[in-house]
């Protein structure tokens, strides 16, 4: 094996201009007084009224941050910049997959958000109402989110790669009356028929009264009269501009959004985040981790439909007054140099993406990268799953030319912001996110809740509350307690296992529950099994994740067919397509295997560990609890 250094030291130029040059002193300041640390950063943002208590712990684990403070995150993203030089600064540079380009200054983003907000108000949307947003990666997605925040509505963004049943379930659970979508989205040269999927989902969901449709692709779509409206037609009406630009004053703890994510069992749960704490957390973490400066062009290549996009495409960058780049389509369309071409064209300084994207582009070889001048890059980032050292080194050497530190950020939908992450001034080890962000206290515990020794694997937990933490599960607060705060009382259980080396660096191993990360996307075995179960030929099924070179994991499904149904390859293909239609293409099983029975415990729980071992030809281990 080649000899690699233990540490990769940051380059001098990066540190010289970084906000934080010395991690240790910054960290000790934060650790000595975490509340003071967060409060200091909260003061860098605008509050209509001050809080009277930074952290209220009187009703654990339902913590409150900046209690009784009044603010609005959208006001801090847009309005505050109207009085400064940032008014005419670019907030967003967007490129469509088909080559369309669109830019927004802070001024125009503010103006268009105001229009959008007025339209939502004219449809009767009020503070506290839920609005579902289902779109591709286009600027209007950002506008729709900000407009909701501005009027105090709670947005529920459903990733555009989800399909009929996933969308239906999320609309129904949130009881949204208004849904915002687009006619379609360009993806890999084809059109994702978003509006068609909406129409199907709405046949199953009864709450939606109005559908706002943004024109993106221009193909013919069905418009139901009285329900569906073109966004551009409403935006041209006087109501869009003549209602002024009133921003709702929100309590620090008022909900900002819900975002559905997969858990251990049952349906996806709606993670709820608030205006105050989430704002302070995303602002502070982005500022220091990606060392955001006014002159930067920052590109987070995630989708706004996931937490990464919420925190680090929409809110974090705008709170910092940054210039962001957004790209609509696939990384390798029409050729594998698309990303590198855009980095050169727009002079991107910071690129934040997922290991699966790196591995996907790596397989095309470095010639595609080397055709472009990537010297504008200063920092790189990774998120979503552990990055394997091989992909790390390729990213570091081929993309970053050996001088751009990689910020490997570990966090979750629930945490709202980065939790384990380097700062640019820290020495790195490929595959480790280094240490918890200053002010965050974490640990690794054994089965009995005792901290494990160095290099031992254990449960990753968060020991103290932090401002951007989830506040509850929408409509199901008991689940917050049972899912996160029961296993190790007082601590937040992440669902990941990890180890910590002798230098105090954390290494994430992976999920210890029934969550599967496919290409960095979070899916639950229950969703896949429920989609399979909705097919008329399926009696029972079990889904598992199997390691995959590019995607991290892929899904295998074991299926028991109904009596009399004959197994065939074409039925397997049909079932894959069925899951794709119901949940989304990302959830399609790679392989379906028909079986007569499933390994279960005596209490009837499927033993996925046994299936996993079988699929990989490994020893299934202890089978004493197996029923049959």
Q: How far is the CB of 52 from ligand WT7 (least distance, A)?
A: 32
475: region left, alpha or beta (phi > 0 left; psi from -120 to 50 alpha): left
Kindly identify the residues of this chain, within the stretch 301-320, that bind ligand WT7 according to CB under 6 A: 307-308
Q: How far is the CB of 25 from ligand WT7 (least distance, A)?
A: 25
Kindly identify the residues of this chain, within the stretch 234-263, that bind ligand WT7 according to CB under 6 A: 261
Q: Which DSSP symbol is given to 288?
A: H
Q: How far is the CB of 411 from ligand WT7 (least distance, A)?
A: 4
- Pick the piece of the chain touching ligand WT7 (CB under 6 A) from 84-92, 319-327, 380-388, 597-605: 380-388
Paired strand residues for 250: 71
CA separation (Å) from 136 to 100, 133, 185, 195, 531? 14, 10, 5, 11, 23
What's the CA gap between 143 and 496, in Å, rounded?
A: 34
Strands (E), 27-126: 53-56, 64-67, 70-71, 90-95, 101-105
Q: Contact, 155 vs 142, CB < 8 A?
A: no
Does 535 interact with ligand WT7 (rule: CB under 6 A)?
A: no
What's the CA gap between 612 and 550, in Å, rounded?
A: 19
DSSP state string for 386-418? PPPHHHHHHIIIIISTT-S-EEEEB--TTT-S-
Instruction: Give the residue with the Cβ less far from ligand WT7, 195 or 511.
Output: 511
User: Within a 10 A sphere around the Cβ of 590, how many other Cβ atoms?
Assistant: 15
Q: How many residues bind ligand WT7 (CB under 6 A)?
A: 22
What is the H or E stretch that residue 297 is in?
A: strand 297-300
Q: How far is the CB of 303 from ligand WT7 (least distance, A)?
A: 10
Q: How far is the CB of 251 from ligand WT7 (least distance, A)?
A: 26
Binder among 386, 405, 430, 467 for ligand WT7 (CB under 6 A): 386
Instruction: Give the residue with the Cβ less far from ligand WT7, 186 or 484.
Output: 484
Q: How far is the CB of 302 from ligand WT7 (least distance, A)?
A: 7
Instruction: Give the residue with the Cβ less far from ligand WT7, 393 or 517.
Output: 517
Q: Of 345, 350, 342, 289, which is closest to residue 324 (Cα–Cα)?
A: 350
What's the CA gap between 591 and 596, in Å, rounded?
A: 17
Binder among 290, 411, 437, 484 for ligand WT7 (CB under 6 A): 411
Q: Of 185, 248, 180, which is closest to residue 208 (Cα–Cα)?
A: 180
What's the CA gap between 406 and 555, in Å, rounded?
A: 29
Binder among 72, 113, 413, 519 for ligand WT7 (CB under 6 A): 413
Does 499 interact with ligand WT7 (rule: CB under 6 A)?
A: no
Q: How far is CA 355 from the centre of its chain?
A: 14
Does 409 interact with ligand WT7 (rule: CB under 6 A)?
A: yes
Binder among 496, 514, 527, 582 for ligand WT7 (CB under 6 A): 496
The 169-188 site mask, x for binding ligand WT7 (CB under 6 A), equals --------------------
Binder among 408, 443, 514, 527 for ligand WT7 (CB under 6 A): 408
Binder among 212, 279, 383, 440 for ligand WT7 (CB under 6 A): 383
Chain position carrying tokens 């959208």: 74
Binder among 114, 217, 349, 412 for ligand WT7 (CB under 6 A): 412
**Alpha helical stretches, state H, 412-558:** 477-484, 525-533
- Pick the piece of the chain touching ligand WT7 (CB under 6 A) from 60-68, 169-177, 408-416, 606-614: 408-416
What is the H or E stretch that residue 336 is in?
A: none
Q: How far is the CB of 381 from ligand WT7 (least distance, A)?
A: 9
What's the token pair of residue 560? 């028991």
> Which positions lie near ligand WT7, rule CB under 6 A?
261, 307-308, 382-386, 408-413, 433, 494-496, 508, 511, 517, 522
């Amino acid at each position: 094996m080649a000899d690699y250094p233990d540490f990769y030291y940051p380059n001098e130029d990066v540190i010289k201009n970084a906000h934080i040059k010395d991690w240790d002193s910054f960290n000790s300041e934060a650790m000595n007084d975490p509340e003071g640390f967060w409060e200091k950063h909260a003061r860098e943002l605008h509050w209509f009224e001050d809080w009277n208590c930074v952290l209220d712990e009187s009703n654990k684990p339902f913590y409150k941050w900046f209690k009784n403070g009044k603010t609005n995150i959208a006001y801090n993203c847009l309005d505050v910049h109207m009085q400064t030089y940032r008014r005419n600064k670019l907030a967003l540079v967007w490129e469509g997959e088909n080559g369309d380009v669109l830019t927004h200054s802070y001024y125009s983003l503010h103006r268009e958000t105001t229009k959008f907000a007025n339209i939502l108000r004219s449809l009767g949307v009020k503070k506290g109402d839920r609005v579902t947003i289902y779109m591709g990666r286009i600027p209007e997605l950002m506008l729709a989110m900000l407009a909701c925040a501005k009027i105090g509505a709670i947005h529920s963004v459903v990733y555009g790669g989800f399909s009929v049943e996933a969308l239906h379930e999320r609309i129904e659970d949130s009881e949204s009356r208004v849904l915002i979508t687009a006619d379609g989205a360009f993806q890999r040269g084809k059109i994702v028929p978003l509006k068609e999927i909406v129409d199907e989902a709405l046949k199953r969901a009864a709450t939606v009264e109005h559908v706002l449709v943004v024109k993106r692709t221009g193909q013919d779509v069905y418009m139901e009269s009285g329900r569906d409206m073109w966004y551009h037609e409403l935006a041209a009406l006087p109501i869009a501009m003549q209602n002024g630009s009133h921003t709702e004053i929100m309590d620090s703890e008022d909900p900002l959004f819900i975002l559905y994510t997969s858990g251990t069992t049952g349906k996806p749960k709606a993670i709820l985040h608030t205006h105050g704490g989430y704002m302070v957390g995303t602002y502070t973490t982005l500022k220091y981790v990606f060392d955001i400066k006014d002159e930067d062009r920052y590109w987070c290549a995630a989708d706004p439909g996931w937490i990464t996009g919420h925190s680090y495409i929409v809110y974090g960058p705008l709170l910092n007054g940054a210039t962001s780049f957004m790209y609509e389509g696939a990384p390798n369309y029409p050729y594998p140099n698309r990303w590198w071409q855009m980095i050169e064209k727009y002079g991107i300084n910071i690129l934040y993406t997922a290991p699966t994207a790196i591995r996907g582009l790596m397989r095309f070889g470095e010639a595609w990268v080397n055709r472009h001048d990537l010297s504008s890059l200063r920092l790189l980032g990774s998120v979503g799953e552990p990055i394997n050292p091989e992909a790390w080194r390729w990213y570091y050497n081929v993309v970053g030319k050996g001088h751009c530190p990689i910020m490997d950020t570990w966090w979750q939908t629930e945490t709202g912001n980065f939790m384990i992450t380097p700062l640019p001034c820290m020495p790195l080890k490929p595959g480790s996110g280094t240490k918890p962000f200053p002010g965050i206290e974490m640990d690794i515990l054994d089965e009995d809740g005792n901290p494990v020794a160095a290099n031992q694997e254990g449960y990753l937990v968060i020991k103290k509350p932090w401002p951007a933490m989830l506040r509850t599960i929408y409509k199901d607060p008991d689940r917050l307690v049972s899912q996160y705060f029961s296993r190790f009382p007082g601590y937040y259980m992440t669902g990941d296992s990890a180890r910590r080396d002798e230098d105090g660096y954390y290494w994430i191993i992976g999920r210890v529950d029934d969550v599967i990360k496919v290409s960095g996307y979070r899916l639950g075995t229950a969703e896949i099994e429920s989609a399979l179960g909705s097919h008329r030929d399926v009696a029972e099924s079990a889904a598992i994740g199997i390691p995959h070179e590019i995607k991290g994991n892929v899904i295998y499904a074991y299926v028991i067919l109904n009596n009399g149904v004959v197994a065939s390859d074409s039925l397997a293909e049909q079932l894959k397509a069925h899951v794709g239609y119901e949940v989304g293409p990302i959830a399609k099983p790679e392989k379906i295997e028909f079986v007569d029975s499933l390994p279960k415990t005596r209490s009837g729980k499927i033993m996925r560990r046994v299936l996993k071992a079988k699929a990989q030809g490994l020893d299934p281990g202890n089978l004493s609890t197996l029923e049959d």
